[in-house]
Amino acid sequence: MFLISVIVIYLLETLIFFILGKDMKYNFNESIGFIIVKAGRLIENKMRYNFEKEGIKITPQQWSVLTYLWNEDGISQQNLADAFSKDKTSMTRLLNNMEKNELISRKQDEDDKRNKKIYLTFKSRLLKKIQ
């Protein structure tokens, strides 16, 4: 989703560039897309720093999943992947790491045996209290 957002912003800026005229100079480093990407990276770096400083072994992506689960505990793995615009492989890898670190548990969906539901653990519920 992040990449799609950047592409859409780039296309909008390009359209504006052509509407306003070709005399306007386009500076990539000052474009809204570049600034948004840079801001996102700065936020992620600050989150990593804060997590390390507090001794919390979690990534910004894992934190995002937990914040989603705090409101939607028991969501299916596919719905979670859709919510984050992640492909099945990427979401599985992320959840495997979270499960290994005891941040989530996966249980087979009783209604549809092909699906797994994602649940918070005691450890991840404790993290919510320190947010």
Per residue in 42-64, pLDDT (tens digit) is: 999 999 999 999 898 999 999 99
What tokens appear for 52 in the block?
């390390």
For position 18, what pLDDT does the model report?
66
CATH fold of the domain at 57-131: Arc Repressor Mutant, subunit A (1.10.10)
Q: Which residue has the higher pLDDT, 112 or 131?
A: 112
Residue 32: band (very low, low, confident or very high) from pLDDT cuts 50, 70, 90 = confident
For position 122, what pLDDT does the model report?
94
SS3 of 107, please? strand
Round the average pLDDT of the chain to a whole number and report it: 86
For position 90, what pLDDT does the model report?
94
Give the neighbor-by-neighbor strand order of the sheet with 104-108.
Answer: 75-76, 116-120, 104-108
Where are the domains positioned within the chain? 1-55, 57-131
